[in-house]
Amino acid sequence: MKYVLLSLFNSSPSRATADLSNNNAPSSANAEKARRRLQTAVDLCIDLLSLLDRVDPGSSRNRGWVLKQLISPWTKLSASLLDAGLINQEEFHLRKERGLQYAKELVIEVQTSVMTSQQNESIKSIQVQCFTSFDERSGKKRRTTTAT
């Protein structure tokens, strides 16, 4: 359910970003609303990561997607909290480090996904070779596709 909510939440144009941009000179009420919206996105992502750790531990495409959805709101929320004086430089630095950790995890997820994709292609190629070899030995003609 949270996965669907996050998809819907992040598919609409982000009013939070517009409310926080310097061009709009955000009012206190708009900035607070934007921070709540960003915090909701961050909370959903963190909850989903926790759930994925229990249901599907390790690297996965879903985990990578959630990390990707988390990084932007995390960064914008941290900057907004600092600008509003709600956190100090030290807390901002800690949040920045955590954001970098999320980014590193995302890179690992993408690399793992690419590796898995390449491994799947290798496995398909081996399967095609085995079926072709088996068919040649048995004298049966079978229509096989070749992997590229």
Structural domain contains residue 20: yes
Structural domain contains residue 16: yes
Structural domain contains residue 148: no
In eight-state DSSP terms, residue 24 is G
- Number of CB atoms found within 10 A of residue 141's CB: 8
Structural domain contains residue 142: no
- What predicted TM-score, i.e. pTM, was given to this entire model? 0.67
Structural domain contains residue 133: no
pLDDT at 61: 87
pLDDT at 148: 45
Residue labelled with tokens 């709101």? 73
> How many structural domains comprise the chain?
1
Structural domain contains residue 104: yes
Name all contacts of 115-122 with Cβ < 8 Å and 24+ positions apart. Answer: 121/147
Domain boundaries, position 51: 2-117
Structural domain contains residue 140: no
CB 40 within 8 A of CB 32: no
Q: What is the pLDDT along the chain (148 residues), one digit of tens a residue?
A: 555 555 655 655 444 454 555 445 557 889 999 999 999 999 999 999 999 999 989 888 899 999 999 999 999 999 999 999 999 999 999 999 999 999 999 999 888 877 776 666 765 666 566 555 555 555 555 544 444 4
Structural domain contains residue 89: yes
